[in-house]
Each structure stands twice: as C-alpha cells, then as structure tokens.
Structure 1
Amino acid sequence: MNEKMLQELVEMISIRDFNKPFRHRARFNNRLQTTGGRYLLGSHDIELNPKYYVERGEEELIGIIKHELCHYHLHIEGKGYKHRDRDFRELMKKVDAPRFCKPLDSVTKRRVMTQYLYECSACHQRYVRKRKVDTSRYVCGKCKGKLKEIKQ
C-alpha cells in the first residue's frame, strides 16, 4: 500500500463511519516503534506505522485508522479527544474502534530474546536481567562480590 492508497482509505473510512470528511494528510511513518499510529494536534495529520499493515494486515490497519480518526474528529469539534475523556470512549464504541492495537510479533520477539546473565565470582549467585548492568558500579546483592557477564 502506498501513501495515495492510504490517504484514500482514511478518507473513505472517515465518510463511511463518521459521516465527516477527513481534510488533512494521512501518511506512513517508519520511525514509529511501539504504537500503531498517532494524531498530530498541530497539523491535524495522522501518521500510521507501516509494520502493522505488513504483519497484521488491512483489518488491523483499519482499526488503527478508526482510533486515530476518533482523536481527529473530536479535536476538530472541540470535544474531549484524549483517551480518558468520555466523548472519546463513546465515539470509539460507536464506530467499533480498538482501544489498543495488538503488539507486533517482531517487537515482542526482540524483547523476549534480549536477556543478560550475570554471575557473582565469589558466591556464584546468578542474575538474569533485561537490561545490561554496569559491572564496574554494581555488585552481588548477596555477598557484595564482583559480577561478571556470562555469554549465552
């Protein structure tokens, strides 16, 4: 799907589900990592994560577009457009837009695989961490011995 097709899809969903036109720009943003899309308050544009279209398909992308259009139309009308606002929650229910998008498989696999294993050189206590530990600053919590990273 290219930018022109995306723009047409967003305009079509806006008319079909909201009965209001979308008069701004919709585009893909490859830099989005943890979110399916975002509505830009200043320019009123919508940016979408292309990885969701590639991994999850058009149905998931349509759900994300509906969610962002809820922000868009409520903000334009001067109503509560934030996630916690009643207007936002009611409009989301009305158009059947998802509150959250499912996490991408590529992101969850990357998170699960990244683990660091450390061992105390004195008492051999082992520590599994998601983030890298600075072994020159931190010591074993059990005996205050020096930690060393174990390659897995």
Structure 2
Amino acid sequence: MNSVRDRGTSREHRRLTTAVKESLRDLNTQLSLLNRRFGGRIELKDADWTCLDLINRHGPLTPSALARQAGLHPATLTGILDRLQRAGWIVRERDPDAADRRAITVRSVRERNSELYQVLSGMNGRMDEVCARYTAAELEVIADFLRRTGTAGAESARELTD
C-alpha cells in the first residue's frame, strides 16, 4: 500500500518539478525580452546593462572583480566600461587603497538611477502586485527558491567555462 502511495507522490513531485522548470524557462524568455527592450530604451546593450546593474548592486568594483561577476573577458569589459562611461552611467576612479597607483575602481553615477527606475516602473509595480498576493512566509520561501536557483545557475555557468 505504501509503495503505491509513494509512487503516486513521486510521480506528482516529478510533474511539479517539471512544471517549475518550464515556468523558469518561460520566465527566462520574458526577462530576456524585457531586458532587450529596456536596454533599447536606455540605449545599452545587454552586457552593458548587466555590468551597470552589477556595479549598482555591488560597487564600486575593480574591473577585474566586475569581469569575474559578469563572466566576461577583461578585454570585452574594457569596451563595455568605455561605452558606459561615455554615456555617463559610470566613472572610473583611482583606488586610493591599492598598492598599484594605476589601479582603478568603477562606480555608478547614482544620480542617473532615476532614469533606470522610471523605465522599469511598470515591471516594479507589477511585481509589487504579484508579491502582495503572498504571505510573508510564502515570500520567504519564494526568495529562498530564487536565491538557490540563482546559485545553481551561477554554478552551472562556471562549469561551462571550465
């Protein structure tokens, strides 16, 4: 009797796991489309926007730290930083704490962030509406799931570069 129930539970778990994976694939597609349209609106390529977001969230950063976080070759990053600086999104500053006087850090121009928020306001408002439907405990589970999914993605990306 238990084995029949276990098989049914196992089958249901596999079905739900497949549904979660399919939903993540759909989410990936929709976020890719949103990022492309967002980048077009603010005149940034996908990789440029990714780097700007990383600088905004984790900066100031050295170019080598940013290259690692973005998974980009340093030479590729140089072009991205040049474009971001020309467009007024970032500044490069000498790192006063570095032993090498040529060392720099990259920081975002925070005054420009309101432009980003304005373009993303529709998505942010929709996410507020989605999250309002969940309890605090459910949101904790969702946030945990998304963090773990992000970690799994980062680990998988590293495997592909090795």
Structure number with higher strand proportion = 1
Larger Rg over CA atoms: 1
Query: What's the TM-score once normalised by structure 2's chain length?
Result: 0.26
Which structure's relative contact order is higher, taking Cα pairs within 8 Å and 6+ residues apart? 2
Structure number with higher helix proportion = 2
